[in-house]
Amino acid sequence: MHARAFVTVAALLLGVLAEQTEQGQAALTNDTAQCAPYSISLVADAQASYPTIGSPILSIPTTDTVALAKFNAITGIPNIAPKGVNGILSADTLNNYPTTDPDCWWTSSGCLTPKASGLAADTASVPEPRTLGYGFDDGPFCSHNEFYNYLSAQNQKATMFYIGSNVMWFPLQAQRAVVDGHEICVHTWSHHNMTAFTNEGAFAELYYTMQAIKLVTGVTPQCWRPPMGDVDDRIRYIASKLNLETILWKYDSFDWKVASGQATPAQVQANYDSLISDAGAGTFDTVGAIMLTHELTNYTMQTAVDNYPKLAAAFDHLVPIAVAQNKTQPYVETNVTFPSFAAYIASRSSTGGNSTSSSGTNSSSSTGSSSSSAGSSSSSGSGSSQSGTASGSSNAGVSFRLSYAHSAIIVVTTVAGAVLVLYY
Ligand SMILES: [Zn+2]
């Protein structure tokens, strides 16, 4: 009796002490369980060197000499005053802003072509015709497993614009995106209006999100999307100095408005339908599209699922934005490889196109070059007990959950018969 009780207590204790893993978190189906707070040592050990999670970053911590040096090395920032304070826009500034739009301020004018010299135009469409650059903002949302399961079942990758604080709160959900083969871009640390930060605050909102994504997933994005689209030439310049491409959109589902009662589901559906109708009318026969949609609530994710078959039918291709741009090395880490657009499309056509998933025969293989070391991709996290083993089913042409140890993730992707081994 006592011995059994001891064993039970010991087992419970081990259960508490054992860290949750990406695979374990990805297997959860209950919303409450998915969203239960947790801690992994990778984040816990590093948290002291990060700004406060969930709060706007007003300045770089004085102890972070590396970040301070990077920021202080930036010269030539356009002399444009912040358009608010601490990430909150000033209504007066917006109301009194000149119609000549001297700052190319998207919030005021929808401007996408900078007026300051030397800045690239924002990306708001994709170069591949009849193609949708498929992506979602505001994740990782804690209860996203059902949505991500659906995308996996469709053999569909997307671009996920992640909020740095969410990544720190839900690192295992963020890891799932990379394991599943999605692209990750930056969506700032605290989701405030970027034009309402000082130069230092704006830098920090981007920089620490990049650091958080690197810490948790092993990759460093080179793309970002301003929350609410709020960007001007000052912010574009700072982002460009962090090698971040600014990505906006030309279609907006306004799915985010439903939670606050500012829009009805019928209105959101009409927005989806408008994109679908335009695709059918040939609007994207020369240049593809980007639509703003969210991984924000169960409603926005379910709406994405509901519309997936229609989008897949209306467009020839639904692909992550990097794929639509033919960027095969989307991250700073050059050993991470994405398929080219042609290879991605070939892999999908071999598995039945957009509308179906297939259990396929060219399943992922860990043979060949995959035996080489995954290497260490993070400066911290040593001692983390996270581990994983090969598991999961493989769809043809889709990433395959192979192993996960510390912050290094190995994903094997087969594209048109070629095996790409991605080391994170
Ligand atoms: Zn957002």
Give the integer Cα–Cα distance in Å for 336 and 210. Answer: 16
pLDDT band at 376 (very low <50, low <70, confident <90, very high): very low
Q: Would you place residue 387 in the very low, low, confident or very high pLDDT band (cuts 50, 70, 90)?
A: very low
Options 294, 316, 317, 406, the catalytic residue: 294
The per-residue pLDDT for 348 is 80
H or E element at residue 299? helix 298-314
Beta-strand relationship, 245-246 and 223-224: parallel
The pLDDT value given to residue 19:
85
Tell me how far the alpha carbon of residue 259 lies from the centroid of ligand 1, in angstroms: 14
| CA–CA distances in Å: residue 24 to residues 29, 194, 258 | 11, 35, 31
For residues 423 and 415, give the distance between their C-alpha atoms in angstroms, rounded to a whole number: 16
Distances in Å between the Cα of 293 and the Cα atoms of 249, 301, 311, 389 are 10, 9, 13, 33
What is the pLDDT, as a whole number, of residue 116?
A: 97
Mean pLDDT of 114-121: 97
Range 223-236 average pLDDT: 98
Q: What are the pLDDT digits (tens) for 19-41?
A: 899 999 999 999 999 999 999 99
Report CA(284)–ligand 1 centroid distance (Å). 25
How much distance in Å is there from the Cα of 295 to the middle of ligand 1?
Answer: 9
pTM above 0.85, yes or no: no
Cα of 370 from ligand 1 centre, angstroms: 36
- Across the beta sheet with 223-224, what order do the strands follow? 135-139, 159-162, 183-186, 223-224, 245-246
Pick the catalytic residue from 64, 103, 122, 137: 137
Concerning whether 137 is annotated as a catalytic residue, the answer is yes
Instruction: Calculate how far, in angstroms, residue 77's C-alpha sits from the geometric centre of ligand 1.
Output: 25
412: pLDDT strictly greater than 50: no
Categorize the per-residue pLDDT at 350 as very low, low, confident or very high, splitting at 50, 70 and 90.
low
In the residue annotation, 294 being an active-site residue is answered as yes
Q: How confident is the model at residue 395 (pLDDT cuts 50, 70, 90)?
A: very low
Q: State yes or no: pLDDT of 373 exceeds 70.
A: no
